[in-house]
Structure 1
C-alpha cells in the first residue's frame, strides 16, 4: 500500500488559514523563524512541521513574546532558552495578576450602584495598591 504524500501548502494558503498577510510569513522567514521548502519554481511550500512552528509563533506572539524570545523558544540549541523562557513566565505571572485585579475592579463597577464609581469605597479598594504613597 502506498503512503500518501505529506501535505504541503503555499504561502497564500498558510497566510489565509492563519488570517495574516503573506508578508508576515515572509518576514518570519527573513528573521530565521521559518525555512519552508521551495518547489522547482522557487515558490514556498510549507509542510506540517512549518505550520506547527507558525502556530507556536502565533500563540507566543499573542502571549506577548517578542520575535527574539520566540526564536529562543524554537531554537533547541539556544544557551539562553531557559533564561528567556523564565523571564517570559515571570512577565506572564505579573500580567495575569494585573488582569485578575482589573477583572475584580470591572466586576465591582458592573454591580456597584454608585453614580460616581470613583467615590465608592469598595471600588477604591481595588486600586489601593497603586495609590499607596499618595495619601496624606
Structure 2
C-alpha cells in the first residue's frame, strides 16, 4: 500500500486495540485468527488496520464460535467465494447446528420439567420421566 493511500485509509480504519476493545477480545485472539487465515487486515507500516469489512468478519467469526464451530469450519464458510459452493457448506453447518439446537432444547425441557417437579426424588416424578421418555424410546 502506498503511503498516501495508507494515510487516507487510517482515518476510517481501526487499530487492533480498538477492534479488540469493541468486541471484548484480547488482541492476541485477532492475531491468532489472522495466522489461521480468518482475517487479513490491511497494514500501515507494521500496524494492522481494520476496515468495516474486517469488523463484520470478526462478528461472523464470533457468532460462529459461539455456535460451536471450529476455526477450520469457520474459515471454510467464510472463504468460499462461489455462492453455490458457499450455500452447500453453510447448509451442512446449518444442519449440524439445528441438530445441536434440538439436543439443547431437549436438555432445557428436562431442566424445566425438573424445576416444576414437587417430588423430593426427582427420578420418581412422572412429569420429569415424561421428559426422558423420548430418550428411552418408551411411553410413560
Report the TM-score, using the length of structure 1 for normalisation: 0.83
Provide the alpha-carbon RMSD of the alignment: 2.1
What pairs up with 1:117-132 in 2 under 5 angstroms?
117-132=122-137
Structure 1 stretches of 4+ moved >6 Å: none
Unaligned runs of 5+ in 2: 1-7
Please tell me whether the aligned partners of residues 11 and 25 of structure 1 are also in contact (alpha carbons under 8 angstroms).
Answer: yes
Match of 1:58 among 55, 58, 62: 62
Match of 2:96 among 86, 91, 105: 91
Please tell me whether the aligned partners of residues 69 and 85 of structure 1 are also in contact (alpha carbons under 8 angstroms).
Answer: no
Deviation string 1:61-94 (CA, Å, 9 cap, x unpaired) is 1111111111122123368534432221111111
The size of the alignment, in residue pairs, is 129
Deviation string 1:16-48 (CA, Å, 9 cap, x unpaired) is 1111111110011111111111113x1111111
Report the TM-score, using the length of structure 2 for normalisation: 0.81
Larger proportion of helix:
2
